[in-house]
Structure 1
C-alpha cells in the first residue's frame, strides 16, 4: 500500500477512535448530569410530603396514607413510607402490606438522599429516590418511584445528535485527511518520478522542497548521491581514458623499438640502447599494471589491523630505501617518538613506500629526506619531507588523481606511473585518516599522514 493511502487510513482511523472516545465521555457526562438534575427535582418535589408525613408517623397510619395518595396523584409517582428498618409502613397504591421487606438496590445505599435509575420490563425506565426524615420520636424513609422515560428520551435525543454530528465530522475529516496525506506525500511521489527518469545515460535529479524537514534532508541526500554518482562515473571514464592512453604509450614505444631492432643489429651500441629502452618500457608497464591491480583490490580486501611501533616502520624503510638513497647520495633522516599505530600492515607500508619513493625520486643529489613519526593531540602524524622541486599551485589539486603527473615531474624524472599518490589516498581513507600537504616550489614538499590514536 502506498504511503499516501497509509497516511489517509491512519489519520481516518485515529480520528474515528477519538470520536468514539469523545462520544463515550460526553454521553456519560451528559447522562450523569441529567440524573443529578432529575434527582434534585425529585427531592424538591418530595420535600412537602416529608413535612406532612413526619408529623403523622408513626402514630397515624391512615393519615399518612392519605397524604401519600394525595401527593402521589399530584406528582404522578408512587410514594412508599418506610420505617427505620426500611420496611413498608404505608403505600400510596395500597398494594404493599405493612412490614413488607422490599428488595430494591436503592435500599442498600448508605448515603441518602439518593436516586437510582434502572430499566424494568413492565414499566420501562424508572427512577427510585430515597429520602430520610425524622419525626419527634422515630426515623423513617420516603421512597419515591417515578417514571424516567423522559430522561432517557432526552439522553437518546442527545446521543442521536452527537452521532449525527460526529458522523458528519468523520466524513469531513475523511476528505480533509485525504488532501493532507496527498499534500504530505507529494514530495515522495515527485522523488519517485524523478528517480524513475534516471538512466545510465542520463543521471539528473532536481527537486525543490521548501519545508525544512526530513524529506528535505532526503532530497538533498539523494541529490548529493546522484552528483557523486555522476562524478564517480566521470572519474571512471577519465580513468579508463587515461589508463588506456598511459598503457598505449609504452606499447607504442615497444612496438617501435621492436620494428627497428632488426635494422640496428649491426651496431652493437645502438642495439644495446634499444634493448635497454625496451626493458625500461616493459618494467614501467609492469609497474603500472601492478598498481592498477592494487588499486582495484584495496577496497575489496578487509583491513587486517595490527599494532606497529615506530621502530618497525623505521626498520622497514631503511631496508627498502637505504640503498636507493645512497645510490643518489640522499640521506634518510628519522625523527621518531615512541608511539604505536593500529593499521593494516601491508596496506599501510605500501602507501608509505609510495610517499618515501616519490620523495627520493624527486630530490636532487646531496639532499636529505626527513621522515618523522610524532603524536599530535589525538592523532598520530607521519611526515615525509623532501628538498626537491615542490608542487605548483596548478598541479596541487590534481596530484591524487590516477595517472596525473605534472610536466615538471615528468621532465625531472621519467619513472613513475602517476598512481602512487592515488594508492596513498585510498590507504589513508580506508583507515579513516587524512592527508595534509605543505609545498613550496623549488624548495620541497612535506606530505603529512594523520591516523587516529590507538
Structure 2
C-alpha cells in the first residue's frame, strides 16, 4: 500500500494515526483521573458518615447487639445504605437488613484490604455500581469494623456522562484534525507535486524547470539541484551542438583546401616549384587534420582511461619539458626559465606530461620573440602547485570564462596564430579534473597569462 500511496496521503495517514493514538491516551488518562477523583470524594463522604455512626456504638459494642442493630437500622435509613458491623475477625456481628446471621463469613474484596479506612467500588450484576467502605473502631479492649454498602450508580452515571462528553469532544477534535492534517499534508507536499509536474513537461526538445519555493529547507535544496541539473543538460546540449558544428567546420576547412589542391595539382605538374608548394600545403593540411582528429579522440577517451598514478619528481618534469621544447623555444627566440622547489607529484605520468606540454606549447606559441616562459613549482596550502607563465598576448576578460570550452579560440589568438584547434585547454582541464585537482588562470590582455595547476 505504501509503495503506491502518494506522499500527501502518507503524511495525512501518519498525522491522523498519531493524533488518534494521542487522543486515545488522553481519553484513558483523563477518564480514569476523573473517575478516581469522584471515587475519592465519595470515599471521604462515606468515611465521614461512618465516623459519625461509630460514635454511637462506643457503649453498645459488644455488649448490646439489640441496641447496635437498632442504631444500624436508624442510620441505614438515614443515609440509604446497608450497614454491617463486623467483629475483630471480620465476621458478621449485626446486619442493618437483618439478613445475615451473626458469625457469617463474608467473601468481599474490601475485607482483604489492609489499609483502612477505605472504599472499593465494584460493578455488580444485581445492584449495579456499588461502593464498599470499611472503617475500624475500638471500644475498650474490643475491636471491630463497620462495613458500609452504598449505591454508587450515581457516580457511575456521572462518570459515564463525562466519558460520553469526552468521546464527543474528541471525535470532533479528531474530525477537525483530519481536515487540518489533510490541509497541512497537501501544503507540505505541494512543492513535490509541482516538481513532478514540471519534470513531466521536460522533453529532449524543451528543457525548462521553474518552481518557486520560499522555504529554506531540503525541498528548496532539491529544487535548486534539479534547476542546476536542467541548466547543465541545456548547457551540455549547447556544447554538443556547438561541438558538432565546430568540429564539422574545422574538419571541412582542411578538406576543402585539400580538395582544391588535389583538383589543381594536374595543372601545375609541369611547374616544379609551384607543384612542390602545392604538395607541401597538402601535407600541412593532412597533418592539421590528423592533429585535430587525434585531439578529438583524446577528449573522448580521457575519461575512459585509467589513472595510473606514480611519483614524479620535479627533476623529471624539468628534463621532460627541456627535451620537448628547448629547440622549439630557441627557434622562436623564447627563453624557458625554471624556478622549481623540490616537490613530488603523485600523478599519471602520460596525462600529466600531456597537460604540461599543451600549456608550455601555448605559452611559446602566443609569446612574441624575445620574451620569457617561466615554469615554477612550490607547496601552497597543502597543494603541490606548478605554474606556466608567459608574457604573451594574454586573454581578454570577456574570453576567460570560455577558454576551457571545446573549440573555443579568442579572436586575438586566431589572428596571432592560425595553427590552433581550440582543444588544448579543454584536454588540460579534463586531465586536472581526472586527478581531482584544480586549475586557476590569471591573464591580462597584451601582458601575459599565468596558469596554475594544483595537485594533491
TM-score tier by shorter-chain length is over 0.9
2:74 equivalent among 63, 70, 73:
70
- CA distance in structure 2 between the partners assigned to 1:261 and 1:407 by the alignment: 33
TM-score (norm 2): 0.92
- CA distance in structure 1 between the partners assigned to 2:165 and 2:339 by the alignment: 90
1:189 equivalent among 184, 190, 193:
193
- CA distance in structure 1 between the partners assigned to 2:308 and 2:112 by the alignment: 84
Aligned residue for 1:273, secondary structure, equals helix
Aligned residue for 1:375, secondary structure, equals strand
Matched with 1:345 is 349
Tell whether 2:448 aligns with 1:444. yes
Tell whether 2:359 aligns with 1:355. yes
TM-score (norm 1): 0.93
Matched with 1:201 is 205
2:283 equivalent among 276, 279, 286:
279
Matched with 2:374 is 370
Q: Does structure 1 conserve the Cα–Cα contact (< 8 Å) formed by 2:239 and 2:406?
A: no
Instruction: Give structure 2 stretches of 5+ with no counterpart.
Output: none
- 1:282-336 deviation digits (Å, cap 9, x = unpaired): 1111111111111122234454433333233223323333343344444432222
Which deviates more from structure 2 when the two are superposed, residues 146-155 or residues 276-285? 146-155
Q: Does structure 1 conserve the Cα–Cα contact (< 8 Å) formed by 2:128 and 2:153?
A: yes
Tell me the CA shift for residue 404 of structure 1: 2.0
Aligned residue for 1:418, secondary structure, equals coil
- How does 1:155-170 map onto structure 2 within 5 Å? 155-170=159-174
Matched with 1:428 is 432
Tell me the CA shift for residue 365 of structure 1: 4.1
Matched with 1:118 is 122
Matched with 2:58 is 54
- CA distance in structure 2 between the partners assigned to 1:133 and 1:145 by the alignment: 17
Aligned residue for 1:55, secondary structure, equals coil
The Cα RMSD (Å) is 2.1
Which deviates more from structure 2 when the two are superposed, residues 302-311 or residues 162-171? 302-311
Matched with 1:297 is 301
- CA distance in structure 2 between the partners assigned to 1:99 and 1:303 by the alignment: 103
- CA distance in structure 1 between the partners assigned to 2:222 and 2:39 by the alignment: 57
2:95 equivalent among 91, 98, 104:
91
Tell me the CA shift for residue 81 of structure 1: 1.4
Q: 1:188 to 1:58 in 2, by over 3 A?
A: same
4+ residue runs of structure 1 moved beyond 6 angstroms?
A: none
Matched with 2:319 is 315
Aligned residue for 1:110, secondary structure, equals coil
Tell whether 2:414 aligns with 1:410. yes
Tell me the CA shift for residue 267 of structure 1: 1.6
Matched with 2:7 is 3
1:34 equivalent among 14, 35, 38:
38
1:136 equivalent among 119, 137, 140:
140
- CA distance in structure 2 between the partners assigned to 1:443 and 1:185 by the alignment: 56
Q: 1:147 to 1:346 in 2, by over 3 A?
A: farther
Tell me the CA shift for residue 248 of structure 1: 0.9
- CA distance in structure 2 between the partners assigned to 1:309 and 1:430 by the alignment: 20
Tell whether 2:178 aligns with 1:179. no
Q: Does structure 1 conserve the Cα–Cα contact (< 8 Å) formed by 2:397 and 2:444?
A: no
- 1:394-425 deviation digits (Å, cap 9, x = unpaired): 43333222212233323333322110011112
- 1:18-69 deviation digits (Å, cap 9, x = unpaired): 2111111111111111111111121122222111123322222221122112
Q: Does structure 1 conserve the Cα–Cα contact (< 8 Å) formed by 2:20 and 2:174?
A: yes
- CA distance in structure 1 between the partners assigned to 2:23 and 2:235 by the alignment: 54
- 1:63-119 deviation digits (Å, cap 9, x = unpaired): 112211221222222212122332332222333333333332222222211111112
Tell me the CA shift for residue 207 of structure 1: 2.5
Q: 1:349 to 1:138 in 2, by over 3 A?
A: farther
Aligned residues: 452
Tell me the CA shift for residue 437 of structure 1: 2.2
Matched with 2:274 is 270
Instruction: Give structure 1 stretches of 5+ with no counterpart.
Output: none
Tell whether 2:244 aligns with 1:240. yes
- CA distance in structure 2 between the partners assigned to 1:23 and 1:288 by the alignment: 81
- CA distance in structure 2 between the partners assigned to 1:390 and 1:215 by the alignment: 44
